[in-house]
Amino acid sequence: MPPARARLPPRWPAWLQAWRFPALRLSARIVLVSLALLLLVQTAGYVVIGQSIQRNAHAQLGAHMALAERVWQRLLDQRAAKLHQGAAVLAADYGMREAVGTGDLETVRSALHNHGARIGASLAALLGTDLAAKAVGEGADPQLAPALVRLAPQLSQRPGSGVVALVANRPYQFVMVPMRAPALIGWVVMGFPLDQALVDDMHAVSGVHVALVAQPMRGAPLVLVHSFKPPVDTAPLAAHLADGDLQLGGQPHMVATAPVATGSDGRITLRLAGSVEAAVAPFRSLQWMLAIITLLGVALFGAGSLWTARRVTRPLRRLVRAADRLGRGDYDEPVAQDSRSDEIGDLARAFDHMRINVGTQRQQIRQLAYRDRLTGLPNRLQFRDEVQQAIAHADAAGGHIAVVMLDLDRFKHVNDVLGYASGDKLLERVAERLQEVVRDGDLVARLGGDEFALLMRDADVDLAAVVAQRITTAFEQPLLLDDHMVDLSAGLGIAVWPAHATDADALLSRAEVAMYAAKRRTAGAQVYDPAVDTASALNLSLLSELRRAVELGELRLYLQPKIAIRDGSVCGAEALVRWQHPTRGLVPPMQFIPFAEQTGFIRQLTLWMFEQAAAEQVALALLGVRRVSVNLSTRDLLDMELPEKLDAILRRHRALAEGFCLEITESAIMDDPQRAEATLNRLAERGYKLSIDDFGTGYSSLAYLKKLPVNELKIDKSFVMAMEKDAGDAKIVRSTIDLAHNLGLTVVAEGVENEAVLSLLHELQCDEGQGYHMPVAEFCDWVARWQARAPAQPGLAVELRVGAPLLH
């Protein structure tokens, strides 16, 4: 997975992951979120205010236009009044009336023109009482006169107030007043164009632009006159007659309409256009102020949140650095903290507490890891480190290093007899005693159990041997433990650098090898001998090969027949193991059995043999071989779970415990008599026959043997084979047989290889004899042949000799 993806939790969709790039620092996020929220709020406010302004502007504009409409009406009325006044003055003029009365139309026309010009009327005319045009002022538009005739009835109905009408696509305002002398003698009509001056006036007074739009009966509506300065394209005003918003000159305007006149020629409407821009203008500055406040707010907010974020993230970064230091194992530098009383301060303080506590605990763990709790001495780890350092130091200085390793003898007995507390005391005393005898500067360590080691810097083999001797001497003095005198002895191994090893591990290993050698020889101290080590190296490879041998089936089960001496029949057999090595051929048991016992692998071998024998049990029983003996080692006896393991094998092969005899050596029992006895009892309960192997070679007391649930004694072949020639051995055999019989045990003689021995044993009333061994298949054939010949006793020894070489 690419790192960029790994950084994000999977719940983010892909597009968002792309958007989130790059991973923002916390402070940046805080600032961004604050600003985004502020902008959101401000934008919402801006939008609402903007809409409100628009609404207000429209409402204001609407009110303004309604006012403008009334202004327009008032303007028209004023003009009508002006016209009316002018017309009234003319109508009341005595000379005029006289001219009318005397029918002097020439004079009347000039008077009409004169008076009309005075008030700026474009038309002045005299109508008769029948409303027919009698005289029209000079210079008037000829098209006006016919229009007058059409308008006169309407005007006569509303004398005094004006009438607006469209004449030849021009808007006019007309008034008509009666002329009396004193009775009605005619009508004076005056007409005014609604011109640029009017709309300019209108715009000046109302502030609203106006346009007069004509809608002729025929033809498209057109703008007659308008107040826009500079002129704009007013075509939309004629094209769109609905009220509402309209773009004029590229600017939005609100447009309203007021009817001005409706006549046979068409209609005139007034269009009022208020600039939305102008209405909004006063609010623009408000909006600008708002925008500036927003900008200031963003700046302040940004600075504020940045400051706050820094206040949070800076100590966090300090803590990260502190955590890095802790991660590297540096617990000494305090976590930088200030006197803040907020959560960050709490965190820093908690962090520092953690640093101190973890540091302390680490110290304790180191103590536990590198020190032996019981004696307070360095443990194996520490010792190994020290050796490494000493070698490094010596390497640089060109010196020597010596390691003395020692293992107490019979410490287990002390534990078992006096209890573990005494065992512990013993170890403490040993530690003390060791420290007393070593040189100053030498390091004493407890490697585990009853194993101690001594590191001597600048020491050669001779010096180490001297110290080892001092230790041995020191151990000769018995130790008083809870009123018990305990004899101390130990095996000591010496190895030196660089003579024996090139590195610390090898040096320790050599010392250990030497120590074991010393223990085997029960000689106090032993200097490492490479010859010993070769064997140990061989052993190591042997162990792995042995493991492989079990897995690959290289082991072979051999059986050695047991013959009932009384009648010469084959009554049992002892199971033995042979190793068919792929390259070394048949490996003799002496080459791997002791080693297997030493390493504990013997337990696997025992189980393997037991399983093989169980598998053959039925076949052997058919041949009359009722019982197969299997050897148990010391390790087997100490394995408390052995009975259960055997049970499992019996179950697997549907075999019976009664079909087995388990053979135990004296020394195996004596290694841990209590535990051995317990195991033996449990095995006896299950129906196994138990036999003491190699009887006579150990030191077991008969009294002790009597306590054990043993059924059989086996006389070692060294006695049996020699008894023919040695009378002493014969006596031992004889007394052993008698002794065993007296104890109710049967006796098996090993190493029966000739007839003389056999007959001798017969005389001594030995129960069974055991001789050659052979592979299972061969054994079965042999037994069949043997049984068939029975009871031809004299042939036994001869036949026995036919088999494979001797086992022991």
Which residues contact other proteins (rule: CB under 8 A)? 92, 94, 97-98, 100-102, 129, 180-185
Nearer to other proteins, 98 or 333 (CB): 98
DSSP string, 641-657: THHHHHHHHHHHHT--G
Please state the closest distance from residue 170 (CB atom) to other proteins, in A: 34
Nearer to other proteins, 101 or 478 (CB): 101
Nearer to other proteins, 92 or 258 (CB): 92
Please state the closest distance from residue 92 (CB atom) to other proteins, in A: 7
Q: Which residue has the tokens 């029949």?
A: 569
Nearer to other proteins, 15 or 94 (CB): 94
Nearer to other proteins, 97 or 717 (CB): 97
With vertex at residue 629, the alpha carbon angle to CA 625 and CA 635, rounded to the nearest 5 degrees, is: 165
Please state the closest distance from residue 178 (CB atom) to other proteins, in A: 10
Longest alpha-carbon distance in the chain: 206
Does the bond joining 171 to the residue before it have cis omega, within 30 degrees of 0?
no
Nearer to other proteins, 1 or 183 (CB): 183
Please state the closest distance from residue 89 (CB atom) to other proteins, in A: 13
Please state the closest distance from residue 96 (CB atom) to other proteins, in A: 11
Q: How far apart are CA 378 and CA 361, in angstroms?
A: 18
User: Comparing C-alpha atoms, which of 517, 444, 505 is closest to residue 474?
Assistant: 444
Please state the closest distance from residue 134 (CB atom) to other proteins, in A: 13
Q: How far is CA 592 from CA 509, 595, 609, in A?
A: 22, 5, 15
- C-alpha torsion sign, points 465, 470, 476, 481: negative
Q: Which residue has the tokens 């803040």?
A: 340
Q: How far apart are CA 542 and CA 551, in angstroms?
A: 14
Q: How far apart are CA 725 and CA 731, in angstroms?
A: 11
Contact 770, 560 (CB under 8 A): yes
Nearer to other proteins, 47 or 184 (CB): 184
Nearer to other proteins, 156 or 415 (CB): 156
Please state the closest distance from residue 145 (CB atom) to other proteins, in A: 23
Please state the closest distance from residue 67 (CB atom) to other proteins, in A: 39
Please state the closest distance from residue 188 (CB atom) to other proteins, in A: 15
Reduced to 3 states (helix: H, G, I; strand: E, B; else coil), residue 748 is: strand
Instruction: Tell me the one-letter amino acid at 338.
Output: D
User: Comparing C-alpha atoms, which of 710, 709, 785, 722 is closest to residue 749?
Assistant: 722
Q: How far apart are CA 173 and CA 121, in angstroms?
A: 10
Nearer to other proteins, 107 or 262 (CB): 107
Q: How many CB atoms lie within 10 A of CB 729?
A: 18
Please state the closest distance from residue 91 (CB atom) to other proteins, in A: 10
Q: How far apart are CA 635 and CA 637, in angstroms?
A: 5
Please state the closest distance from residue 183 (CB atom) to other proteins, in A: 4
Please state the closest distance from residue 163 (CB atom) to other proteins, in A: 24
Nearer to other proteins, 180 or 393 (CB): 180
Nearer to other proteins, 184 or 281 (CB): 184
At residue 394, what are phi and psi to the nearest 5 degrees? -65, -35
Please state the closest distance from residue 203 (CB atom) to other proteins, in A: 40
Q: How far apart are CA 211 and CA 256, in angstroms?
A: 11
Nearer to other proteins, 97 or 113 (CB): 97
* DSSP tally for the chain: helices H, then strands E: 28, 27
Nearer to other proteins, 98 or 233 (CB): 98
As to burial, measured by CB atoms within 10 angstroms (0-12 exposed, 13-18 middle, 19+ buried), residue 145 is middle
Q: How far apart are CA 461 and CA 480, in angstroms?
A: 32
Reduced to 3 states (helix: H, G, I; strand: E, B; else coil), residue 119 is: coil
- C-alpha torsion sign, points 612, 613, 614, 615: positive
Please state the closest distance from residue 97 (CB atom) to other proteins, in A: 7
Contact 211, 223 (CB under 8 A): yes
Please state the closest distance from residue 121 (CB atom) to other proteins, in A: 23
Q: How far apart are CA 237 and CA 257, in angstroms?
A: 10
Q: How far apart are CA 117 and CA 111, in angstroms?
A: 10
Contact 576, 590 (CB under 8 A): no
Please state the closest distance from residue 98 (CB atom) to other proteins, in A: 6
Nearer to other proteins, 110 or 129 (CB): 129
Region label for 30, one of left (φ > 0), alpha (ψ between -120 and 50) or beta (otherwise): alpha
Query: Who's near 334: CB < 8 A, 6+ residues apart?
Result: 352, 355
Q: Which residue has the tokens 């003898």?
A: 409
User: Comparing C-alpha atoms, which of 733, 732, 680, 673 is closest to residue 711?
Assistant: 680
User: Comparing C-alpha atoms, which of 793, 780, 376, 442 is closest to residue 803?
Assistant: 780
Nearer to other proteins, 179 or 513 (CB): 179
Per-residue tokens: 514: 């030497």
Nearer to other proteins, 91 or 124 (CB): 91
Reduced to 3 states (helix: H, G, I; strand: E, B; else coil), residue 741 is: helix
